[in-house]
Structure 1
Amino acid sequence: MLAGAGLASASILNACAPATTAPAPTTAPAQPTVPAVVKTPGDQFSWQRFKGEKIEALLIKNTQGDIMVKNLKEFEDLTGITVGADQPAEQQQRQKLAVEFASGATSFDVVYYSFHVQKRLFGKNKWVTDIRDYLKDPTMTAPEFDWDDFSAAGKAWATEADGRIDALPNKIDYFIIYCNKELFAAKNVALPKTYDDVVNAAKTLHDPSKNVYGFAGRGLKNANTILWTSMLLGWDMDAIDSKLTLNTTSPDAIECAKLYQNLMKNYAPAGVGGFNWNECQSAFALGQVAMWWDGLGFATPLEDPKTSKVVGKVAYVVAPKGPKAQWAGMTGDGMGISNFSKKKGAAWYFSMWAASKGLLAKSFAQGSGAQARNSVYTNADALKSLLVPKEWVDGVVNSGKIGRPTLPIIVPVTEFRDIFGVALNNMIGGADPATELKKAQDEFKPILDKSEA
């Protein structure tokens, strides 16, 4: 069995797992198929095939990465492969991999990356190996691996428009609203089901004299853009569509920016313009915030009595219905094999293990976020050892039914977030949304055009 597969469920009920809308397609040149390994007749799969090899894994300092590192000995004992794991912070990791890939040589063999930020960049440059040959080769893929156990959303994130599969999906995340049930109950306010409900609840529950604020969200430049684009899905609109049309100065985009401005300017804590997710989390955990709109992977610290005053008081509310639609902003991560690696076989084995049923069940049980495998949602052991309430699981599953990519699938995602992040930050200070969006679009469009030239 796969290492850590003791948590794996014997019954896989795909219908219970998140079924999500696939990301908008990208366009990228076809990649030549990379042979897996030299095979001989009669070969069978063996976890010991690459015993004695050493590989380098570039991970990220997050819960998912921590769990991989904590369980590395299982993989090394299973395979005889030694792993050197590097876990820099997210932004430093992204800089490191971009520099190394661009140089034509990487110090790592396998890399954990974000589809919602880097999918188009990786796909266009063919930085990672097409893994289709591995998946269809019974001598290279463990019989218990079960590709069909991955969710439709996970597979869509990992697949390019030409059919290449660039990575094994690992984690899927959705934007929800964390609500302080105690604050809502104190004023007899119902949990929000619509955008109007969010505004009305923020207004009713906002009481700065008691150090209670109606709303919190990301205000810091770059970090804040994903909140606005998540909100924009309520108008059934992507900031940039699959044809690379900018919708960022449309009437709906302006209305969405006004919503963001209203909530952040009038009902959030002072200094929210400098808030990333961690500042929002801290304020919410102190019981000072009624609603916090962000990714659902932050439940564990909110339910930890050592770090939180709201244990047992959190409602995990699915993204509410907007003026035209109801979508939950969706992000995703996966594990790819560097096309510059000379140890692709061993790197593939690590990728399989890192996306195994057992390891992803452990991540799920610790509240790391929604996982890319369907089986975790029916895994009795994982559900039994869950460190967060079942209400959180319900939020994950229900969000999965309405998941939609929240950031445009383009190469200059960072520039998009930076430029529109400045505009959104200015709005918190009172700047006109329409004016700010036009300035941002005028600045960003040449960058987008150049990236696709």
Structure 2
Amino acid sequence: MTHGIDNQRRMLIQGAGGLGLAGLLPASFAQAGFDWKRYSGQSIEVHLVKSPRADLLQKYEKEFQTMTGITVGSEQVPEQQSRQKAVIEFNSGKTSFDVIHLSYHVQKRQFAKGKWLEDLRPYFASQAATDFDLKDFAAGGMFYATQTDGRIDSLPLNLDPWLLYYNKELFAAKGIQAPKTMADMLTAAKALHDPANGVYGMVGRGLKNANVPLWTTFFLGYGGSFTDASGKLLTDGPEAIASATLYRDLLKSNGPAGIAGFNWNESQSLFLQGKAAMWIDGSGFALPLEDTAKSKVVGKVGYGVIPAGPKAHLVSMFGDGVGVSAFTQKKGPAWYYVQWATGKLMQQRMLADGMGAPVRTSAYANKEALAALKLPVAWLQAVADSLRISRPGLPVIEPVNEFRDTFGIALNNILTGADVATEMKKATAEFQPVLNKSEGKS
């Protein structure tokens, strides 16, 4: 078993390290006289996005306070409300928070345009702990954290490839194998869908905005690209329509009533009750599935790579990090929190607790973290395999939240009976001027 874990660990390191641009990582800095108590007596406010990573940070918050003498006030806010709050407060020029947790796939370009976060590079040189080791961050994470002008205005917490979760017991009862292709997945969903007995073939995000990453996961497999070289949207072409049709067929025809209002938490809840045969979402949502106090499917969960599409076998990847508000008067203590939150020990804990795929490669070489892993080795294998074929699950554009809103409404309409092609064409026509304006085009 140990040999198998070692092989998977090496694979995962290779996958994480290959997600970015070679040579992007700056030199590592460390100060021999670093003092964690430098800002003792001060206080900071931390704005977190509701997620397993936020749970982890709050779990060990008192440890940071004891180590530094810095008092921390933190809150978790659901992602859509968090994004609205960030825009309002940053645009006001005064933030209620000193540290903010951000989703790179949604907010990177937006935050860069407003220069809302502090450039952390000077802190690497003057206020970095001896074990900070910037080179330890995988290139994929630093690609997300580095802006086009070279500023590093956050540090990455997590790279999140999406996985297929499936109920092995339900599959075995019908003699069905884990799906290898998206066509297999639809066939399995139909075969396992048994609403009369409270079992659904597939569960996933139907709620507008939140639903877009699930559709784009299929879009990648159908060979889709968000735009052509000129910036023209390709989201109303055959790949987009076919993948949105699959999205509809999986959820509307083989999911529970009310699926159009489901986000990740409703989906997770149904799956851990043993009422869903399959669920697709981020790798960091696995831990409750193996918790005997919360889950009825402990030991019954299969962890797999997203099945191959008809044209490509790719996995959608997302990421999140933490940064210091450019408007805070407490930049020093805020930086200390960011440094701690993304440090080696916290990254090891993230892996051990199954709360995501750490960005620090040292976490996967840590024997204690692997020994303490609370999830099956199959989860680690699925993450390893997924990272090697991962691609951004959303277009890297400034108005990405508007993209999610526009296409999220289209997908939501599709789930409630609207025509697929009509909705995708309408959304594309509506969003193209928004994209053009963001890129400075008439």
Common topology (TM > 0.5): yes
Per-residue displacement from partner, 1:367-386 (whole Å, max 9, x unpaired)? 21112111222322222222
Tell me the residue number matched to 1:123. 112
Q: What's the C-alpha RMSD, in Å, of the aligned pairs?
A: 2.2
Comparing 311-320 with 59-68, greater Cα deviation is found at 59-68
In structure 1, stretches of 5+ residues that fail to align are 1-12, 25-41
1:379 to 345, 352, 366: 366
Tell me the residue number matched to 1:104. 93
TM-score (norm: length of structure 2): 0.90
SS in 2 for 1:175: strand
TM-score (norm: length of structure 1): 0.87
Residues 208 and 109 of structure 1: CA distance in aligned 2, closer, same or farther (over 3 Å): closer
Q: How many residues are treated as equivalent by the alignment?
A: 423
Indicate conservation of the 8 Å contact 2:16/2:359, yes or no: no
* CA distance in 2 between partners of 1:220 and 1:97 (Å): 21
Matched, 1:233 2:220: yes
SS in 1 for 2:101: strand
Tell me the residue number matched to 2:25. none
* CA distance in 2 between partners of 1:83 and 1:219 (Å): 35
1:70 to 59, 80, 94: 59
Tell me the residue number matched to 1:422. 409
* CA distance in 2 between partners of 1:413 and 1:21 (Å): 24
Q: How does 1:385-400 map to 2 (within 5 A)?
A: 385-400=372-387
Indicate conservation of the 8 Å contact 2:11/2:384, yes or no: no
* CA distance in 1 between partners of 2:352 and 2:301 (Å): 18
SS in 1 for 2:164: strand
Q: How does 1:236-275 map to 2 (within 5 A)?
A: 236-240=223-227, 244-275=231-262
Comparing 349-358 with 147-156, greater Cα deviation is found at 147-156
Tell me the residue number matched to 1:443. 430
Q: In the TM superposition, what is the alpha-carbon distance from 1:112 to its structure 2 partner?
A: 1.0
Tell me the residue number matched to 1:151. 138
1:319 to 291, 306, 316: 306
Q: In the TM superposition, what is the alpha-carbon distance from 1:438 to its structure 2 partner?
A: 0.7
In structure 2, stretches of 5+ residues that fail to align are 1-8, 22-30
Tell me the residue number matched to 1:409. 396
Q: In the TM superposition, what is the alpha-carbon distance from 1:23 to its structure 2 partner?
A: 7.4
Q: In the TM superposition, what is the alpha-carbon distance from 1:209 to its structure 2 partner?
A: 3.1
Per-residue displacement from partner, 1:265-296 (whole Å, max 9, x unpaired)? 22222222222222221221222211111112
Residues 194 and 158 of structure 1: CA distance in aligned 2, closer, same or farther (over 3 Å): same
AA aligned to 2:225 is D
What is the aligned-residue identity percentage?
A: 51
* CA distance in 2 between partners of 1:415 and 1:183 (Å): 38
Comparing 46-55 with 343-352, greater Cα deviation is found at 46-55
1:191 to 178, 186, 207: 178
AA aligned to 1:362 is R
Q: In the TM superposition, what is the alpha-carbon distance from 1:124 to its structure 2 partner?
A: 1.0
AA aligned to 2:213 is I
SS in 2 for 1:85: strand
Residues 263 and 62 of structure 1: CA distance in aligned 2, closer, same or farther (over 3 Å): closer
* CA distance in 1 between partners of 2:11 and 2:251 (Å): 38
AA aligned to 2:310 is P
Tell me the residue number matched to 2:187. 200
Residues 207 and 108 of structure 1: CA distance in aligned 2, closer, same or farther (over 3 Å): closer
Q: How does 1:9-20 map to 2 (within 5 A)?
A: 16-17=12-13, 18-19=15-16
SS in 1 for 2:411: helix
AA aligned to 2:358 is Q
Per-residue displacement from partner, 1:277-317 (whole Å, max 9, x unpaired)? 22221221222211111112221111122222111101111
AA aligned to 2:16 is A
* CA distance in 1 between partners of 2:220 and 2:80 (Å): 26
SS in 2 for 1:192: coil
* CA distance in 1 between partners of 2:228 and 2:390 (Å): 16
Matched, 1:82 2:82: no
Indicate conservation of the 8 Å contact 2:292/2:298, yes or no: yes
Per-residue displacement from partner, 1:182-219 (whole Å, max 9, x unpaired)? 11111221111111111121122223333322212211
Q: In the TM superposition, what is the alpha-carbon distance from 1:243 to its structure 2 partner?
A: 5.9
* CA distance in 2 between partners of 1:14 and 1:140 (Å): 32
Q: In the TM superposition, what is the alpha-carbon distance from 1:167 to its structure 2 partner?
A: 0.6
AA aligned to 1:418 is D
* CA distance in 2 between partners of 1:55 and 1:360 (Å): 22
Q: In the TM superposition, what is the alpha-carbon distance from 1:342 to its structure 2 partner?
A: 2.2
SS in 1 for 2:80: helix
Q: In the TM superposition, what is the alpha-carbon distance from 1:335 to its structure 2 partner?
A: 0.8
Indicate conservation of the 8 Å contact 1:229/1:239, yes or no: no
Residues 61 and 433 of structure 1: CA distance in aligned 2, closer, same or farther (over 3 Å): closer
